[in-house]
Amino acid sequence: MSVYPSAKILVVEDDSAIRELYSIKLNREGFEAFAAIDGRDGLQKAEEIKPDLILLDLRMPVMTGDEMLFKLRETDWGSAIRVIILTNISKTEAPLSLRFLHVDRYIVKVHHTPAQVVEMVKEVLA
């Protein structure tokens, strides 16, 4: 029995290997993981599934993560969704607009293992 039986997590990541890695890891931990390949896809899937939390990369084709987050926060249904930025852009290089688009955590991928990221997901949802 999962500790988070109904928690839906949307992984928005353009790198297929990373996207799959986090989706598998989250599913194994009892979450219901969904995946999107860029910000536009992520916004569409977020509207469909109404996730409890989004793991969001910043640098992606079609629509960047910060663009997606801006559009998400403009909606009634997306204004309160928990968001963890999961990127390889240092916080100092991140778009300034992120400061005004409430995020729960900012994680630099290369500094954390997938297991550590999953623990942070659990902390944010606790």
Number of CB atoms found within 10 A of residue 104's CB: 16
In order along its 126 residues, the chain shows pLDDT tens digits of 345 557 999 999 999 999 999 999 999 999 999 999 999 999 999 999 999 999 999 888 899 888 999 999 999 989 889 999 998 777 767 666 666 667 888 888 888 999 999 999 999 998
List, in order, residues 6 or more apart from 45 with CB less than 8 Å away.
10, 34, 36
CATH number 3.40.640.10 given to 8-125: no
Q: pLDDT value at position 32?
A: 94
Q: What pLDDT shows up at residue 14? A: 94
- pLDDT score at 72: 93
Spatial separation of the C-alpha atoms in residues 22 and 124, rounded to whole Å: 16
What's residue 5's pLDDT? Answer: 58
Q: State residue 115 phi and psi, 5-degree precision.
A: -65, -40
* C-alpha to C-alpha distance for 106 and 90, rounded to whole angstroms: 9
Strand 105-108 and strand 8-12: the pairing is unpaired
- Burial class for 18, CB neighbours closer than 10 Å (0-12, 13-18, 19+): middle
pTM of the model: 0.89
